[in-house]
Amino acid sequence: MPTAVDDLRIDGSRLHRRIEALGLIGAVHGPNGERGCARLALTDADRDARDLVVTWMRDLGLTVEIDRIGNVFATLPGTEPELAPVMTGSHIDTVATGGRFDGNLGVLAGLEVLETLITNGITPRRGVTVAFFTDEEGARFAPDMLGSLVYVGGLALEDALDIRAADDDARLGDELDRIGYSGALPVPAVSFPHSYVELHIEQGPILEDAGIEIGVVEGVQGISWTELTISGRSAHAGTTPMHLRRDPLLVAARIAGFVRDLTGELGGDQVGTVGRLDVHPNLVNVVAATVTMTVDVRNTDESLLQDAERRLAEFVATVADEEQVDVRSRTLARFEPVEFDPAMVDVVELAARRLGHSTRRMPSGAGHDAQMLARVCPSAMIFTPSVDGLSHNIAEYTAPDDVEAGANVLLHVLLERAGLG
Amino acid sequence: MPTAVDDLRIDGSRLHRRIEALGLIGAVHGPNGERGCARLALTDADRDARDLVVTWMRDLGLTVEIDRIGNVFATLPGTEPELAPVMTGSHIDTVATGGRFDGNLGVLAGLEVLETLITNGITPRRGVTVAFFTDEEGARFAPDMLGSLVYVGGLALEDALDIRAADDDARLGDELDRIGYSGALPVPAVSFPHSYVELHIEQGPILEDAGIEIGVVEGVQGISWTELTISGRSAHAGTTPMHLRRDPLLVAARIAGFVRDLTGELGGDQVGTVGRLDVHPNLVNVVAATVTMTVDVRNTDESLLQDAERRLAEFVATVADEEQVDVRSRTLARFEPVEFDPAMVDVVELAARRLGHSTRRMPSGAGHDAQMLARVCPSAMIFTPSVDGLSHNIAEYTAPDDVEAGANVLLHVLLERAGLG
């Protein structure tokens, strides 16, 4: 019934209702009516959101499985059980001031695709699995994309379980037990999917600026996260002559300024951000004793990214020496740029065009679980526009039509990969 | 008995024991055996310290009185009760990483002077009052020197009681009630002292570098505290092109760097410090939404201080415009430079030299309660050396001989001012 299948569409209003319902968990409200989410990984809010999505999965009669790092998988069996299933998914954890679409869209669109297949009595040859991965944001437990990284064998389970939370120093393994999501499936997975495709909001302004409906993601920027702990000498702000100061906050400020200047020099895709900075003792009339800060630099070109890292390290050493402070540097996360499978990318582009959508091939500026899955199976991503390019912001928004378009592209990519009996 | 009085000396070991005992309240320990204090104003630790000092005052049979802002006064009556008493004092609150001497020395040395007079059966013509003033540091409730400022009428009681804590947003008046130090004496005081002299550690390196025992303080630097609240736009650190960013943390960093550069340009006595900086949401992969920071600039010359303030404001406006962020500026504290009473300064210098100590006239880089008292009576200060110039630091230290020397100068200045029957 190829015609029927080609005409198959997801139920946009049903998908919209689930996005709204999930967005109520850990909801945060802005001054102008914005409604975002604060669901840091493995918090009570994350548990409540997981429980809701798992309930929806079970209501569809899907088999739900959980692995030892808390990744959740719901599978619609295929007609040929011996074949590896096709997988889609994303994450449902958010940053402290996150939106309702980041991650959640990919998970709920995958669920909507399965409900569409079930209600239309369509059973593909391969099974179709919808997954949500633990701690994709890395906002509470670094590195980001942690769950999918452990799933593909990029980080040992024991090491992951011992990671401490940035906010309350809680141990990841303890938090996983506490919320009841320490599952039985081994990690890394015993067998990997046939292929993986993830629908996600762009989180940037490119598609909207160009008036494009679907982003065909060819790869992901390389990411480098560094934590710098700068130790100087606490002293009285009024009586300590400037030339005798060893001020870690001044050094942190010089570094933050340098990061911005560096992106200007390197140009192109290079981005750099200082997003976290903690001062101790943090008092108006005391030269600080210590400052801890993070530097996030990203580039689609590995050699340029390494260049940025090297120049940052050189600057840090120079300014630390000038102010006579000590600096300890720690890598919180480091991922090389990723290129998705060309055949998968073609499938995404073709499906989008068949549905009559305008498309653009583009890299992803953000890290995604798909880049971890790309290590073990052919993978690709579908982007939908983000209004004003906003994400990691409670004002994050993607229009219903764009959400529906992205979900329909996902449906047809999954159908093409899973095949029909 | 002038000879006997000229030979009078305080008991250094008794004073040392009290400094050690008071230093145990809110004690914080450093990695190399340093022992400092964390006794922020109106906390439980501050209450415990107040209770201990008041107990010592009462044990000496002194009349203890508390005013409505929590300033505490203990008086040894003179032979001529109709004469205004001579006052000494300081504070016993500390910064979060403070030392055992800052403030505490002046209060306990004053107490030691009274005990010396009592045990030697000496009753001066004028009464002698030892005071400790509320929230001199301003570390928890801005402005600093708050208690003495209210005492002299520089800040209305109602306004002071409504000030909120920088750490937990507690209301000053509520905290004062909570720790039981909301007293009965009206503020501003009904009558002011005949004169005021305060012993304090230098909190800087000048005396130690010059090998001088006693600093004769001629005045106090002007102080300007500004709080800047910078609002930008929170966004994803990976997907937001640099040219579209409105990053308040970058602006804060540029400002902190400018403050250091400005002190270099202005030179002389100009100092400038960014000691407090709070970032929201403070996450590695999120461009910050808001940053709150403080800028502390000080100069002995009011016109130069105004120049520094003007240039800072101009820079803030420029950099805020470049990054398209909004900045709200609030003055937390502003005190013009103070010149102490020349006659009082002479008395301090003469007393120190009579005791055989080397002296140097100098300004104070830090704010002190004495500058508030200077508004209502002839005032001056005595400085003792600080090892390595460290203060607002748990490694703050002043050698026993220097402590004893300072206390003996205080004794003889108070005797000279109070007069003998």
Q: Cβ of A275 and B263 within 8 Å?
A: no
The answer to whether residue A236 scores a pLDDT higher than 60 is yes
- What tokens were used for A308? 């940025």
Rounded mean pLDDT, A21-45: 94
Residue with tokens 């900086």: B277
pLDDT number for residue A239: 87
Contact B234 A202 (CB under 8 A): no
pLDDT category of residue A421 using cuts at 50, 70 and 90: low
How far is A114 from A76, CA to CA, in rounded Å? 7
Task: Tell me the chain A residues in contact with residue B252 when contact means C-beta distances shorter than 8 Å.
Answer: 253, 256
Contact (Cβ atoms closer than 8 angstroms) between residue B234 and residue B245: no
- Interface touch B236/A392, C-beta < 8 Å: yes
Structure tokens at B57: 């005052």
Residue-wise pLDDT for B300-338, tens only, equals 999 999 999 999 999 999 999 999 999 999 999 898 999
Phi-psi region of B182 (alpha: psi -120 to 50; beta: other; left: phi over 0): beta
**CB-side exposure of A101: number of CA atoms within 13 Å?**
29
Q: Is the pLDDT of residue A100 over 50?
A: yes
Substitution target in A168, A236, A364, A394 with the highest count of B β-carbons within 10 Å is: A236
For residue A352, the model assigns a pLDDT of 98
Tell me the residue ranges of DSSP E strands in A62-169: 63-66, 72-76, 86-90, 128-132
pLDDT of residue A333: 87
Contact at CB, A287 and B273, closer than 8 angstroms = yes
Q: Do B332 and A273 touch (CB under 8 A)?
A: no
- Nearest Cβ partner for B284 among A225, A257, A264: A225
Q: Tell me the shortest Cα–Cα distance from A320 to chain B, in angstroms.
A: 14
B136: nearest CA partner in chain A: A285
CATH topology classification for B222-335: Alpha-Beta Plaits (3.30.70)
Please name the residue of chain A whose CA is at the shortest distance from the CA of residue B394: A234
Q: Tell me the per-residue pLDDT of A178-204, one tens digit each, with 9 for 90 and over.
A: 999 999 999 999 999 999 999 999 998
Q: Number of CB pairs < 8 Å for A and B?
A: 260
Q: Tell me the CB-side half-sphere exposure of residue B381, using CA atoms within 13 A.
A: 33
- Domain ranges, ordered by start, for chain B: 3-221+337-418, 222-335
Q: What is the mean pLDDT of residues B379-388?
A: 96
Say yes or no for a CB contact (<8 Å) between A275 and B285: yes
Under a CB-based contact definition with an 8 Å cutoff, are residues B46 and B54 in contact?
no
For the record, the structure tokens of B379 come out as 């005032």
Closest in A221, A244, A252 to B205, CB measured: A244
For B404, other C-beta atoms within 10 Å of its C-beta total 20
Residue of B nearest to A368 (CA): B238
**pLDDT for res A3:** 47
Burial of A313 (0-12, 13-18, 19+ CB in 10 A): middle
Q: What is the pLDDT of residues A166-179, one digit of tens each?
A: 889 999 999 999 99
- Spatial contact of A196 and A370, defined as CB atoms under 8 Å apart: yes
Q: Does the beta-carbon distance from B95 to A273 stay under 8 Å?
A: no
CA-wise closest residue to A225 among A194, A271, A189: A271
**What percent of chain A stands above pLDDT 90?**
88
Q: What is the pLDDT of residue A50?
A: 98
CB contact under 8 A, B285 and A137: yes
A421 to chain B, closest Cα gap in Å: 40
Which CATH architecture fits A3-221+337-418?
3-Layer(aba) Sandwich (3.40)
Kindly determine whether residue A273 and residue B237, on different chains, have CB atoms separated by under 8 Å: yes
Helix (H, G, I), strand (E, B) or coil at B368: coil
Chain A hits for B244, CB-CB cut-off 8 Å, are 205, 389
> Quick count: other Cβ atoms within 10 Å of Cβ B47?
17
**B93 — pLDDT class (breaks 50, 70, 90):** very high
For strands B195-201 and B277-280, give the pairing.
Answer: unpaired
Is the model's pLDDT at B30 over the cut of 90? Answer: no
Mean pLDDT value across residues A201-208: 92
What is the least distance, in Å, from the CA of B69 to any CA of chain A?
22
**Which DSSP category does B244 fall into?**
G
Angle between the N-to-C axes of helices A12-23 and A104-119, in degrees from 0 to 180, rounded to the nearest 10:
140
Give the chain B residue nearest A300 (alpha carbons): B238
pLDDT of residue B1: 43
Question: Cβ of B279 and A275 within 8 Å?
Answer: yes
Question: B100 and B22 in contact (C-beta within 8 Å)?
Answer: yes
Residues in contact with A100: Cβ distance below 8 Å, sequence separation at least 6, in sequence order:
A19, A20, A22, A23, A35, A36, A37, A396
The confidence score (pLDDT) of residue B3 equals 47
Give pLDDT tens digits for A40-97.
999 999 999 999 999 999 999 999 999 999 999 999 999 999 999 999 999 999 999 8
B263 CB neighbours in chain A (<8 A) are 242
- Out of A237, A278, A294, name the one closest to residue B275 (CB): A237
Residue B31: the pLDDT is 85
Closest Cβ–Cβ partner in B239, B260, B283 for A275: B283
Tokens describing residue B356: 């055989």
Which residues does chain B have within 8 Å of residue A250's beta carbon, measured at their own beta carbons? 256-257, 260, 274
CA torsion, points A407, A412, A415, A417, in degrees to nearest 10? -100
Which of B231, B236, B255, B393 is most worth mutating to test chain A (most A CB atoms within 10 A of its CB)?
A: B236
Tell me which residue of A296, A221, A396 sits closest to B284, measured CA to CA. Answer: A296
Percent of chain B with pLDDT over 70: 99
Q: Which residues of A touch B142 (CB under 8 A)?
A: 284
Residue of A259, A315, A392 to mutate, interface with B, max B Cβ within 10 Å: A392
Test mutation, B231, B283, B287, B335, chain A, max A CBs within 10 A = B283
pLDDT for residue A258 is more than 50: yes
User: Mean pLDDT, to the nearest integer, of A287-301?
Assistant: 96
Among residues of chain B, what percentage have pLDDT more than 90? 88
C-alpha distances out from residue B386 to A286, B199, B204, Å? 16, 13, 6
Instruction: Average the pLDDT over B178-207 and give the result.
Output: 96
Q: Residue B11 is encoded by which pair of tokens?
A: 């008991």
Cβ neighbours of B274 in A, within 8 Å: 249-250, 253
How high is the pLDDT of residue B421? 66
Token digits of residue A217: 């993601």
pLDDT at residue A160, rounded to an integer: 98
**pTM higher than 0.80, yes or no?**
no
- The pLDDT, as a whole number, for residue A336 is 93
Nearest to B283 among A96, A280, A364 (CB): A96
Can you tell me the ipTM of this complex? 0.78
A240 Cβ contact list (under 8 Å, min separation 6): A287, B204, B205, B271, B365, B389
Closest residue on chain B to A276 (Cα): B282
Section A94-121 average pLDDT: 96
Token duo for residue A193: 């999917």
Radius of gyration, CA atoms only, chain A: 23
Mean pLDDT of B193-213: 95
Selected for mutation to probe chain B from A283, A296, A368 (highest B CB count within 10 Å) is: A283
Residues B247-286 have pLDDT tens digits of 999 999 999 999 999 999 998 889 999 999 999 999 998 9
Note the pLDDT of residue B241: 87
Nearest CA-CA partner of B108 in B69, B55, B156, B158: B55
* Confidence tier at B2 by pLDDT (50, 70, 90): very low
pLDDT at A372: 97
Task: Provide mean pLDDT across the span B84-95.
Answer: 97
Mean pLDDT rounded to a whole number for chain B: 95
Chain B CB contacts of A274 below 8 Å: 249-250, 253
